[in-house]
A and B are shown apart, each in its own frame.
Chain A
């Protein structure tokens, strides 16, 4: 694989964002519409106790991705009510074009006491081509289960042969590295299937091999088909020290599969790496691959988890 970088294409501080959000445009996810490409992202504001709440917003690009047409100034989806799984943020929201409706697979966050937060996956439905989303219930469609005890997140959905496939992540442990710092989480990529996009079958199996040991954190899988193969990009990092700049930051990983069951990890063939300097020189994370007008693009975040926006690359 080889990607040509087109640079950073959206900077949240240059635009007025809904819900009083100021910084961050994380985990960009594309919905290709007739006259535009709508890119959803999660942005943030601080609540009354000074902690972040993540809200979903979007920016519309021309179909060649060269120009911004519009940035939404309305609430795309409400956060959850008191005690709900998505009370403290939705990050990310994956969108899936399901014909006459758009499905939003939300990762909802709720803050906890002994660990920072837990997450579950919810479903929301848009009947206005992705302008707004209404939730399918107050609760999640995928949450902790017997062998996936916490931190269900980062859905990516494809329909293949009439079956919905979802790649997502689940937590495997919370790990304490020192008495003074909060615990760090470890999470892995898995796959679920469904016939109705609401009820999902899953087995708690990690499908992508670790390359930096047991404590590797794997996040945000994105899958596409090309040349008889399925290709997956994701991001990964060690579970501790990842907020410091440098070698423990998120990197992009790559795997491929012929049968959607067995995946061969081959990061050396990812075809994209950190830049020498600039916005993606220390970190690359939250990749999202989509096709438009016979071109294949990858949206992704750079340094500081997307605090200053997202960029684009094109498959060559």
Chain B
């Protein structure tokens, strides 16, 4: 099993009252490494409207590369505005995943729209930064990855990587909406697409991770790194109902693959669980794994799907980076 040393909470937007658009939530962290700092993009929210509905914006903080628990900068403005009337990202840009490409930085994000019979829908868009990641411009008003016959709604949670010159996008696709006495709840599964340019994608068309909590398990936030010649995926999974507390909340799962497409699920090796108390005692989720200066880190969101902020853990051992 992997062992992670938790380094604590890095950032909680509720500690900073001068950013009304970033009032609470730090979700879906994604890092970009610079010479002196590590920039962490995440998604944050202003107060909900009078119907209790949220919008979500892309934000970032910067960490001291020499001491990652030290926040040296908080962005002042959202890194990108929301989409126009009727577009796929009119009501939110969340989650987000950033990657360098030549002299650009690209953001892959899920756009939120609002519907009548179900609360929301999502599709995946791309935005590009030409100013070193300070702000992003969407490459079109529509999504890049959207609905298809066997991925009918809720395309979200993108995580982009490049391996051996091939662009890989892990994302989720909705399966069905479950009717409840309150608002409908979705079921979604992890999928992937590949591309030679990061813009035109070919969907693999299969669910990658077998269910552990039954067919209504929700899976999201699939982040992949390459170690010891194999591919390692950390993702989040939960029940589709009663998931907002410790009992049914998100946990970090783990799977390993040799070809990026066929994955063996072995959650018991993830080694990343909720704490006994504190900001990540009910949920650990949306982990993003990255290597830096000889170490491997996981940055992740905690309780209430990241309402309580983001924290960091450092890998202490990798006994066998996981022989089959």
Interface residues of A (CB under 8 A from B): 81-85, 87-88, 110-115, 118, 120, 122-123, 136-141, 143-151, 171, 173-174, 176, 183, 185, 198
Contacts and interface: CB of A to CB of B under 8 A. Distances in A.
Contact of B147 (A82, A85, A147, A176): A85
B195 to A, nearest CB: 13
A84 B174 CA distance: 10
B142 A148 contact: yes
Given A112-B115, A149-B87, 11 more contacts: A85-B147, A85-B152, A87-B117, A110-B117, A113-B114, A114-B86, A122-B149, A136-B149, A137-B152, A143-B148, A146-B140
Contacts of A123: 149
13 contacts: A82-B177, A88-B116, A113-B91, A113-B113, A137-B149, A141-B149, A143-B147, A143-B148, A145-B146, A146-B143, A147-B140, A150-B87, A173-B84
Contacts of A144: 88, 123, 142-143, 146
A147 B91 CA distance: 19
Interface in B112-127: 113-118, 121, 123
Interface string B130-154: 0000000001111110111111111
Contacts of A185: 86
Nearest to A51: B116
Contacts of A83: 115, 117-118, 121, 152-154, 174, 176-177, 184, 186
A143 B150 CA distance: 13
Contacts of A141: 148-149
Nearest to B150: A137
Contacts of A176: 85
Contacts of A198: 149
B117 A111 contact: yes
A82 B149 contact: no
Contact of A139 (B84, B142, B148): B148
Interface string B19-57: 000000000000000000000000000000000000000
Contacts of B323: none
A139 B174 CA distance: 10
Contacts of A87: 117
A39 to B, nearest CB: 27
Nearest to A81: B176
A174 B150 contact: no
B90 interface: yes
B142 A150 contact: yes
Given A82-B118, A114-B86, A118-B86, A138 B152 contact: yes
Nearest to B199: A146
B179 interface: yes
Interface string B172-183: 001011010000
B237 to A, nearest CB: 21
Interface residues of B, number: 36
Nearest to A123: B149
Contacts of A137: 148-150, 152
A123 B144 CA distance: 21
B114 A114 contact: yes
Interface string B78-89: 000000111110
Interface of B: 84-88, 90-91, 113-118, 121, 123, 139-144, 146-154, 174, 176-177, 179, 184, 186
Contacts of A149: 86-88, 140-142
A114 B149 contact: no
Contacts, number: 123
Contacts of A183: 85-86
- Find the residue from A81, A118, A123, A144 having the highest chain B CB count within 10 A: A144
B143 A112 contact: no
Contacts of B115: 83, 110-113
Contact of B86 (A122, A136, A174): A174
A88 B118 CA distance: 12
B146 A143 contact: yes
A183 to B, nearest CB: 6
4 closest Cβ pairs, A-B complex: A137-B149, A139-B152, A113-B114, A146-B140
B38 to A, nearest CB: 31
Contacts of B113: 112-114, 118
- Find the residue from B113, B114, B116 having the highest chain A CB count within 10 A: B116
A10 B113 CA distance: 39
- Find the residue from A123, A143, A171, A198 having the highest chain B CB count within 10 A: A143
B153 A85 contact: yes
A49 to B, nearest CB: 9
Contacts of B177: 81-83
Given A83-B121, A150-B142, A171-B86, A140 B116 contact: no
A82 B85 CA distance: 23
Given A87-B117, A146-B140, A120 B147 contact: yes
B116 A112 contact: yes
Contacts of B153: 83-85, 139
A81 B184 CA distance: 12
A113 B152 CA distance: 19
A81 B113 CA distance: 18
A183 B184 CA distance: 27
Contacts of B143: 144-146
Contacts of B140: 146-147, 149
A139 B150 contact: yes
Contacts of B121: 83
